[in-house]
Amino acid sequence: MFRISTLHLAVLLILAAGLPIGCTHTGEESAAVPAKGGVAKRLENPPRGAFGYSLVASETGAPLDVEDFAPYDDCADCHERQWEEMEGSIHTIAHTDPLYRNTAELARKEAGEEIYAYCSGCHSPQGVTTGLIPSTPESELPEVVKAGILCDVCHQVSRLTGTAGPWGEPGNASLVLSPDEERKFGPPGGDDAAADHGVETREFLDRSEFCASCHTIIHPLNGLRLEHTYGEWKKSIYAEKGIECQDCHMRSVADAVKVAETLEPIAVLGRSEPSGTEREIHPHQLVGGNSNLEVLGGSAAHASMAEDRLKSSARLEIEVPSAVRAGAGLEFDVVVHNVAAGHSLPTSLTELREMWVALEVRAEDHRLLFQSGQLERDGEIPEGAMRFGAIAGDAEGNVTYKPWEVSQFLWKRLVPARGAARDSFRVDLPVGFSGPVHIAAKLFYRSASPRALASLMGDEAFEPKQVEMASAEAAVAVRE
């Protein structure tokens, strides 16, 4: 699952015991390896739906009414559990999340209202289908429009248009809303007759294609797949075994880890509503890797679940020889395994998300012989680190963090589902060196770099949490 490409890193010289120690690092490296795919050209007739570039639709094609969307409280009156699980989660802040807000306002300013409406098709489908976005100033929008992905968004989706749509796959909010106060769409199972409102079953609620409607982001003007979590999942063993997004994201982290290990879904029993009968339920936390939730207006509980999920997803390994000779080179491999994510690591918004390995090689007396991946003073990942994510470029090949400018990926390195990525390192040990040598590696994740956040948020930029996902240590004896 991995490739070792050209030797690329500048040889690092560190003075140890007065002797220069040479170190090299081989692997797929930033900027050095262009992502394949090339530059996406602007389409002559970019596809449009009834509400613009977003494919979100109403059954009749006519705009919907604000009253068609109940606030969370209305559903929470009876469905306490689902609301308790959902309150403070990322779906509730999809419109107000300050990172999103700043980026979306920038889109509005630089790319225009139509592009802003395109963003909102996923971040506030109720705003777009009611026509309030983009026409109404932000400060005058009703609360329900700013309330994120409402119960009444997901449970009023009557059908998906994905595969039959213009992109031939789910994405760009390829879903149809058919609001009706008297009827909600529910997954298979449960006692629909017992509900205080009509319930119609929709099999797709149980399937990844439903999530993919919003979690596949296709550039509306050039067709570039900006975010393709669904595509990554689709070619993984999880898709083959019928493990859907819901089987991990509508499960506790502990259960999701078991699902990933055994490739068997785990049923959770409970009630849809306190008076209902026992059935299979789907906890609504829908947590991913966003551990900054608190800063963004979400809850501490969800942020900590996101941290747990990140920590569950990878394993780090150092492959070393049992002994080396002084005067020779210590060669070792660092391997990152994606053990529990049903898609690549990192996934989605990979031009912002960052994952990297910080590595230290020390002598018995703690002298530093080699290091790699320690953040620079400005908080950026240094050149030469073993890192993962993507660098997006505009049509001219300049680096950009603005989704509307992206026309190509200049670099991309992700660890595929159940796959691994490996880099080789070499540290020269001088003659007379006495061992052993200790190697320590840590795998880190953060939502975005300080540079990216500053470029999208200006003064409102926050300090992203750095989560240690995994670590590994190894010792190698050095013989004379």
- DSSP assignment letter at 93: G
Residue 129 within binding range of ligand HEC, rule CB under 6 A:
no
CB of 173 to ligand HEC, least distance (A): 5
53-72 residues in contact with ligand HEC (CB under 6 A) are 70, 72
Residue-level length of the chain? 480
Q: Should residue 262 be labelled a site residue for ligand HEC when binding is judged by CB under 6 A?
A: no
430 preceded by a cis bond (ω within 30 of 0): no
Question: Checking DSSP bridges between strand 183-186 and strand 198-201, what pairing results, if any?
Answer: parallel
Residue 329: DSSP 8-state: E
Of 6 and 277, CB closest to ligand HEC: 277
| Residue 50 Cα distances to 26, 45, 64, 87, 130, angstroms | 51, 15, 12, 31, 11
Near ligand HEC by CB under 6 A: residue from 347, 372, 407, 408: 347
Give me the phi and psi of 410, to 5 degrees please: -80, -25
Using CB under 6 A, count the residues that bind ligand HEC: 104
* CA 141 to centroid of chain Cα atoms: 29
- Cβ at position 423, least distance to ligand HEC in Å: 20
What are the C-alpha distances in Å from 133 to residues 51, 64, 142, 353, 474?
10, 12, 11, 28, 55
Kindly indicate which of the ranges 31-39, 80-88, 362-370, 375-383 contains the residues binding ligand HEC, using the contact rule CB under 6 A: 80-88
Instruction: For residue 209, give the 3-state DSSP assignment.
Output: helix
Among 14, 33, 35, 78, binds ligand HEC (CB under 6 A): 78
Binding mask 296-335 for ligand HEC (x = CB under 6 A): x---------x--xx-xx----------------------
User: What residues between 158 and 187 interact with ligand HEC by CB under 6 A?
Assistant: 171-173, 184, 186-187
According to the binding rule CB under 6 A, does residue 113 interact with ligand HEC? no
Closer to ligand HEC by CB, 24 or 400: give it. 400
Q: Which is nearer to ligand HEC, 354 or 360 (CB)?
A: 354
**Residue among 13, 194, 431, 477 that touches ligand HEC (CB under 6 A):** 194
* Smaller CB separation from ligand HEC, 27 or 170: 170
Question: Phi and psi of 409, rounded to 5°?
Answer: -105, 120
Residue 345 DSSP class: B
Contact between 226 and 401 (Cβ < 8 Å): no
Q: Say how far apart CA 322 and CA 80 lie, in whole Å.
A: 57
**Site residues for ligand HEC, window 352-371 (CB under 6 A)?**
353
Determine contact, residues 224/408, Cβ cutoff 8 Å: yes
Site for ligand HEC in 229-248 (CB under 6 A): 229-230, 233, 238, 243, 245-248
